[in-house]
């Protein structure tokens, strides 16, 4: 017998919950206060839709920090391989990039979303846009309203006071996977904003990360910065140290820099000797770091905090995990579930964000489907 279920939020977690429940034969209505679905999902796909990651599951789970124990059985029940299979069942082929990240072949979010919405429509799912959630009622509900980043795309955290008024503990929402603030000079900022520094190694306290960073007018961002987002937020005041050539030892750099410069400009000499870019050379000058082996291996950056939550990729904080059953059901509100970024977990980009959104949605929808049956 069909049961009516309301899903609040038309982002990836809400759409995934609808997918599971409608496939199980229930009448699903998704409400969302925005005029169209999955706006942040589409924005995330502009630079390449990173669905999940291909690394071994034990290593994969370590990226969730303190939330690992809660998320581990949920992600094991709907792991990265299941995300890939789901995507390919939509008719969207995937591939694993050199970094281990998993993308659709087109790299874009829009073909995935179009195929997904067609599937949901065929399953009888209805979408009611421009509709605000007014609070708990007697209907089974899955809440998938996101965090507080990019509020103009829909995730405005309007649900926080509603849940707190209902006696549900919600920790403060904080920026995650966002830009860090560095006080650049006007000359450096105007010339190099938007320029990447590729294949670098970062160290902040005892935490390290490797990958690409991007110089912005206000500081630094990029995948390697996002990997350290949690520790930089929780342990402010430390220096960020950048190794511009992690594949070369200090000794090898010193030997190359000791070669005769001849008539080459300094920039050309450094480019040929150790393959260092003009932006990296400018960073050494900007930070008053010596152009030698020790300087190239340890550029020290003063971090002045993180940019605001409005432009962060995601948020930390949310509904405390102790408020939930192992399947994301609110203990104080049976048959009401919370999924995705509304939960108090934090993960870097690289596929870990979407994976946890998908997996928590599947866990909640399967549990609700069992109870309705």
Q: Specify the CATH number for the domain of residue 226.
A: 2.40.30.10
Average pLDDT value over all residues in the chain: 94
| Residue 336 and residue 261 share a domain | no
Mean of pLDDT values over 323-345:
97
Segment 138-157 mean pLDDT: 94
Backbone CA torsion sign across 360, 366, 367, 368: positive
pLDDT recorded at residue 298:
96
Model confidence at 373, pLDDT cuts 50, 70, 90, reads confident
Residues 267 and 338 in one domain: no
Residue 269 pLDDT: 87
Q: Is the pLDDT of residue 262 over 90?
A: no
Q: What is the pTM of this model?
A: 0.91
Q: What is the pLDDT of residue 297?
A: 96
Token digits of residue 189? 């900022």
Residues 40 and 159 reside in one and the same domain: yes
Q: Evaluate whether residue 345 is within a structural domain.
A: yes
pLDDT reported for residue 194: 95
Can you list the pairs that 121-125 forms with residues at least 24 positions away whose Cβ atoms lie under 8 Å? 123/19, 123/22, 123/23, 123/28, 124/22, 124/27, 124/28, 125/18, 125/19, 125/22, 125/28, 125/29, 125/30
Same domain, 135 and 74: yes
Q: How big is the chain by its Cα radius of gyration, in Å?
A: 23
Structural domains counted in the chain:
2
Pick the last residue of a domain from 262, 277, 302. 302
pLDDT of residue 203: 97
Tens of pLDDT, residues 14-33: 999 999 999 999 999 999 99
* pLDDT of 47 above 80: no
Q: Classify the C-alpha dihedral 13-17-18-20 as positive or negative.
A: positive
Same domain, 266 and 205: yes
Claim to verify: residue 24 and residue 146 sit in the same structural domain: yes
Specify whether 57 is located in the same domain as 154.
Answer: yes
Inform me whether the pLDDT recorded for 324 exceeds 80: yes
Q: Looking at the predicted structure, is the pLDDT value of residue 222 above 80?
A: yes
Are residue 168 and residue 212 in the same domain, yes or no?
no
Residues 153 and 235 reside in one and the same domain: no
> What are 95-133's pLDDT values in tens digits?
999 889 999 999 999 999 999 999 999 999 999 999 999
**Same domain, residue pair 191 and 171:** no
Q: Report if residue 14 sits inside a domain.
A: yes
Q: Is residue 307 part of a domain?
A: no
100 assigned to some structural domain? yes
Of 286, 266, 289, the residue nearest 276 (C-alpha):
266
**Structural domain that includes position 99:** 4-176+312-372
The answer to whether 134 and 166 are in contact (CB under 8 A) is no
For residue 61, tell me if it sits in a domain.
yes
Answer with the residue of higher pLDDT: 324 or 291: 324
pLDDT at residue 44, as a whole number: 83
What residues contact residue 270 under an 8 Å CB cut-off, 6+ apart? Answer: 257, 276, 281, 291
**CATH number, domain containing residue 78:** 3.50.50.60
Task: Name the domain boundary from 302, 334, 350.
Answer: 302
In this structure, the answer to whether residues 185 and 142 fall within a common structural domain is no
Tokens, residue 25: 């034969």
pLDDT of residue 355: 98
The whole-number average pLDDT for the span 175-179 is 93
What is the model's pLDDT at position 264? 83
34 and 157 both lie in a single domain: yes
What pLDDT shows up at residue 12?
97
Residue pair 117/50 in contact by the 8 Å Cβ criterion: no
Assigned domain for 56 exists: yes
């Amino acid at each position: 017998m069909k049961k009516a279920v309301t899903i609040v939020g038309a982002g990836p977690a809400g759409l995934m919950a609808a997918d599971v429940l409608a496939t199980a034969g229930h009448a699903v209505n998704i409400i969302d206060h925005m005029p169209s679905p999955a706006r942040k999902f589409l924005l995330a796909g502009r630079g390449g839709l990173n669905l999940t990651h291909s690394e071994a599951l034990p290593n994969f789970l370590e990226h969730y920090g303190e939330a690992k124990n809660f998320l581990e059985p949920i992600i094991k029940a709907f792991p990265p391989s299941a995300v890939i299979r789901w995507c390919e069942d939509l008719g969207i082929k995937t591939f694993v990039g050199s970094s281990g990240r998993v993308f659709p072949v087109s790299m874009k979010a829009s073909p995935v979303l179009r195929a997904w919405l067609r599937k949901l429509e065929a399953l009888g799912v209805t979408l009611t846009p421009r509709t605000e959630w007014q609070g708990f009622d007697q209907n089974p509900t899955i809440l998938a309203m996101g965090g507080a980043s990019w509020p103009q795309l829909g995730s405005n955290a309007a649900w926080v006071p509603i849940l707190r008024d209902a006696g549900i503990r919600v920790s403060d929402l904080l920026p995650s996977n966002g830009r860090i603030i560095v006080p650049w000079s006007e000359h450096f900022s105007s010339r190099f904003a938007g320029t990447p520094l590729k294949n670098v190694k970062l160290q902040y306290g005892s935490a390290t990360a490797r990958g690409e960073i991007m110089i912005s007018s206000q500081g630094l961002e990029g995948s390697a910065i996002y990997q350290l987002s949690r520790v930089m937020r929780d342990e402010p005041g430390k220096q960020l140290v950048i190794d511009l050539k992690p594949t070369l030892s200090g000794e090898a750099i010193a030997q190359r820099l000791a070669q005769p410069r001849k008539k080459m400009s300094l920039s050309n000499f450094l480019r040929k000797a150790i393959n260092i870019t003009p932006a990296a050379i400018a960073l050494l000058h900007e930070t008053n770091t010596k152009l030698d082996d020790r300087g190239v291996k340890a550029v020290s950056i003063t971090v002045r905090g993180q940019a605001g939550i409005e432009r962060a990729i995601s948020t930390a904080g949310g509904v405390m995990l102790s408020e939930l059953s192992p399947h994301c059901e609110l203990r104080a509100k049976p048959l009401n579930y919370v999924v995705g970024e509304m939960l108090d977990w934090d993960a870097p980009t690289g596929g870990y964000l979407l994976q946890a959104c998908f997996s928590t949605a599947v866990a909640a929808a399967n549990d609700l489907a069992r109870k309705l049956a």
